[in-house]
A = this chain, B = another copy of it.
C-alpha cells in the first residue's frame, strides 16, 4: 500500500533557486494530503507531474507566509481546471478570513466547497480518520500559533497465502477472520490456523511533521516511534542565537528530538537561505542521530518500501 512523501519545497522564509517555500505532498493508502503551501506550490506540482486535483486534505501548520502564500493560487487554479469536489482545510481559523477576503475581491466564487476545520494550536487531537489511516495534530512552539502533524496508517491485515488456501480449499467466508489473525473452525470441526494460511501483516507506518518550531520536547509523546520524522532545521549550531530569536531549531536539536522520540529516520528541511548545501546540517545531526538527512525539493520518500 502506497505511503509516500514528496518534498515540494524545503526552503525557509526566503526562497532560493533550489529550495522553494515549504510544501509537502503525501499519499497514504489512497488519501492525498498537502501539508503547507508556500508560494509557487502549484508550479512545483506541475513541474513534478503530480495531479493536484486529487488532493482531499490540506493541512496548514501556521500563518507565516512561506507556509501558505501559495494556497489561494492553488485553489484558484483547481477552480479554473474544473474542480467540483470539496476540499478539507485544517488550519488556524484566521486563514478562512484571509482566503474569503481574497476570493471575494476577484469577483468569482469557487465551484467547490472549502470545508474549514479550525486547528487550535494549543491542543492535540485527531483531524481525520478512516479505515486506512488517520491524521493527528499537536502543538509546536513558534512565534505564532503552530501545529505539527502525524499521519498514521491503521494496523494492516495479514495476507492470505493463495496457493495453500486454494490447495486446501479454504472457503471464502473464512478469509476475513484469517486475515485478522483469528483461527477458524470449519464445518467439519477442523481448526484452520490463521498462522498457517496467512503471512504476517506489514507493520503500519507513520510520518510526523514538525515545522516550524523551536527545540520543544513536548512533541516527543506525539511522534514517538514514527517511521519518518520531518523536523525543521533552519540553522546549524553556529547560528544558535538566530535560532533562539526566530524560534527555529538547529540540526543538532532536530536530531536530539529524533533520538529521544525513537523515530527510525530523520528528514531535515526548512534550511535558511544562507546555506548552500545541507552538508553541515547532516554532519551535525549525525553526531546525535545516525539516520539523519537533509531533504531536497523534488525528493520522494517511500514509507511503504
Contacts and interface: CB of A to CB of B under 8 A. Distances in A.
B65 A13 contact: no
A278 interface: no
Contact of A39 (B73, B106, B143, B144): B73
A17 interface: yes
A77 interface: yes
Nearest to A44: B40
A246 to B, nearest CB: 10
A168 to B, nearest CB: 56
A64 B47 CA distance: 23
A305 interface: no
Query: Oligomeric state, in number of copies?
Result: 2
Residue from the set A39, A92, A108 with the largest chain B CB neighbour count within 10 Å: A39
B144 A77 contact: no
How many of chain A's residues touch chain B, expressed as a range? 35 or more
A105 B40 CA distance: 20
A37 B64 CA distance: 19
A39 B70 contact: yes
A172 interface: no
A106 B65 contact: yes
Contact of A105 (B21, B43, B47, B63): B63
Interface of A: 13-17, 20-21, 39-40, 42-43, 46-47, 63-66, 69-70, 72-73, 76-77, 80-81, 92, 94-95, 97-98, 101-102, 105-108, 143-144
29 contacts: A13-B76, A13-B77, A13-B80, A14-B80, A15-B46, A15-B77, A17-B43, A17-B46, A17-B47, A39-B39, A39-B43, A39-B69, A39-B70, A40-B40, A40-B43, A63-B105, A64-B106, A65-B106, A66-B73, A69-B69, A69-B72, A69-B76, A92-B105, A95-B105, A98-B101, A98-B105, A105-B144, A106-B144, A107-B143
Closest 6 CB pairs of A and B: A39-B73, A107-B144, A63-B105, A94-B105, A69-B73, A40-B40
